[in-house]
Amino acid sequence: MAAKIIDGKAVAAKMREEARTRAAALEARGVRPCLAVVLAGEDPASLSYVAAKEKALAGAGMEGREFRLPAGVGEAELLGVINALNADETVHGILVQLPLPSHIREKAVISAMDPAKDVDGFHPVSVGNMVLGGKGFLPCTPHGVLVLLREEGIPTDGAHAVILGRSNIVGKPLAALLSRREVNATVTICHTGTRNPGLYTKEADIIIAAAGRPGLISAGMVKEGAAVIDVGVNRVADSSSKKGYRLLGDVDYGPVAEKAGWITPVPGGVGPMTVAMLLLNVVEAAENAANAVSGANTASGARAAAARHD
Ligand code: NAP
């Protein structure tokens, strides 16, 4: 059986269209959703991710405001930029492109952000809300994976989902989201300390590879008919390509596609979903801010009206 290839671009286009419609409704209220993108240094992958995000924002009628800092920027200066963006009412979301230069503490920078503007969902308050089921922004890549599963009609209720990778931005949040009652999967997390991950993946109804290791998932590790979601993006040297490299996921795509029930390609699977979920978070942050202002105006209007009647 050949797997159904999940078209992440098509699902992402639907999400981007939703973001565009909501952004247009805000524009009609005089609010243009704005994401501040903070980038320190010149990491080529980061530069291309930032360019892709800014292009997507423009396509959805939103503003991307870039703050490019030198690789040698001090932590205090970077924290100063974050504080200024927290206070700027025309900025609705803040994204700090990771990784940061090694002399800067990522935790300190992310924690300095106003959680109301944390559209990446990395702030400890956002993570706490995600785990506890409170309101807050969900991290874009794990949320994108969840939406792909839902849109493709891949059953999750009672399914065994095996995640390879336990990073704070992909593996851990995915485990929390998949085990939510409304998703109801049973989750296993594999990492470098896992002896024989194949033991678990062979039993999995859903495999999510997020390790950053090309070829990690071979056909022999996959159960017939399983859904295989490949989050990995690996640059592999390729002299036949103009860029000198090509992108590979963590899954041995051809052989696994012969056996799986569903599979995401790389590129064109999870990647476009990450950007689309970011757009939805930015528009939601702008809606929240606009509603808070109109709510405050209504409340003060009501107080003024009440005062006039006194
Ligand atoms: P990361 O921080 O490097 O974490 C990788 C995780 O994989 C770690 O938990 C590591 O285990 C685990 N791992 C490494 N080798 C393994 C193996 N052989 N078996 C099982 N687990 C293994 O990476 P990340 O930021 O989560 O990203 C993971 C991949 O997803 C990368 O390729 C990245 O480029 C890609 N990514 C894609 C998107 C997208 O939008 N498509 C977004 C984010 C990331 P330990 O904890 O034991 O070290």
How is the chain split into domains, by residue range?
31-114, 140-270
pLDDT at 299: 72
Confidence of residue 308 (pLDDT cuts 50, 70, 90): low
Cβ-based neighbour number of residue 150 at 10 Å: 12
pLDDT digits (tens, 9 = 90+) for 200-236: 999 999 999 999 999 999 999 999 999 999 999 999 9
Structure-token pair, residue 97: 């492109």
Ligand 1 centroid to Cα of residue 72, in Å, is 26
Q: Using a 6 Å cutoff on CB, does residue 192 contact ligand 1? A: yes
| Residue 243 annotated among the catalytic residues of the structure | no
Q: Using a 6 Å cutoff on CB, does residue 249 contact ligand 1? A: no
Ligand 1 centroid to Cα of residue 165, in Å, is 5
Q: Which of 46, 172, 192, 248 to mutate to test the pocket of ligand 1 (most atoms within 8 A of CB)?
A: 192
What is d(CA 136, CA 126) in angstroms, rounded to the nearest whole number? 5
What is d(CA 81, CA 88) in angstroms, rounded to the nearest whole number? 11
DSSP for 132-173, written as a single string: HT-SSPPPHHHHHHHHHHHHTT---TT-EEEEE---TTTHHH
Q: Which of 53, 230, 233, 248 to mutate to test the pocket of ligand 1 (most atoms within 8 A of CB)?
A: 233
pLDDT at 310 over 80: no
Amino acid at 257: A
**Atom of ligand 1 lying closest to residue 273 CA:** 40
pLDDT at 67: 97
Residue with tokens 């200024």: 84
pLDDT at 28: 97
pLDDT at 297: 78
pLDDT at 295: 80
> Among residues 117, 118, 120, 205, which one is catalytic?
120
Residue with tokens 């699977």: 269
Cβ–Cβ < 8 Å for 215, 254: no
Kindly state the percentage of the chain with pLDDT values over 70: 96
Of 113, 98, 176, nearest in space to 142 by CA:
176
Ligand 1 centroid to Cα of residue 16, in Å, is 26
pLDDT at 74 over 60: yes
- 140-270 in CATH: which number? 3.40.50.720
Work out the average pLDDT over 237-260. 96
pLDDT at 300 over 80: no
DSSP for the chain, written as a single string: -PPEEP-HHHHHHHHHHHHHHHHHHHHHTT---EEEEEEES--HHHHHHHHHHHHHHHHTT-EEEEEEE-TT--HHHHHHHHHHHHH-TT--EEEEPSSPPTTS-HHHHHHHS-GGG-TT--SHHHHHHHHHT-SSPPPHHHHHHHHHHHHTT---TT-EEEEE---TTTHHHHHHHHTSTTT--EEEEE-TT-S-THHHHTT-SEEEE-S--TT-B-GGGS-TT-EEEE---EEEE-TTSTTSEEEE-SB-HHHHHHH-SEE--SSSSHHHHHHHHHHHHHHHHHHHHHHHHHHHHHHHHHHHHHHHH-
Asked if the domains at 31-114 and 140-270 fall in one CATH topology, the answer is yes
* 71-75, 184-188, 291-295: range with lowest mean pLDDT: 291-295
| Residue 252 annotated among the catalytic residues of the structure | no
Ligand 1 centroid to Cα of residue 191, in Å, is 9
Amino acid at 68: R
pLDDT at 88 over 90: yes
pLDDT at 186 over 70: yes
Confidence of residue 309 (pLDDT cuts 50, 70, 90): low
Task: Return the CATH fold of 31-114.
Answer: Rossmann fold (3.40.50)
Amino acid at 74: G
Kindly state the percentage of the chain with pLDDT values over 90: 93
| Residue 120 annotated among the catalytic residues of the structure | yes
pLDDT digits (tens, 9 = 90+) for 276-298: 999 999 999 999 999 998 887 77
pLDDT at 32 over 90: yes
Q: Using a 6 Å cutoff on CB, does residue 11 contact ligand 1? A: no
pLDDT digits (tens, 9 = 90+) for 140-182: 999 999 999 999 999 999 999 999 999 999 999 999 999 999 9
Q: Which residue has the least CA distance to atom 41 on ligand 1?
A: 271
Work out the average pLDDT over 62-86. 98
pTM score: 0.94
Q: What is the dihedral of CA 99, 101, 102, 103, to 10 degrees?
A: -140
* 75-79, 131-135, 200-204: range with lowest mean pLDDT: 131-135
Work out the average pLDDT over 52-67. 97
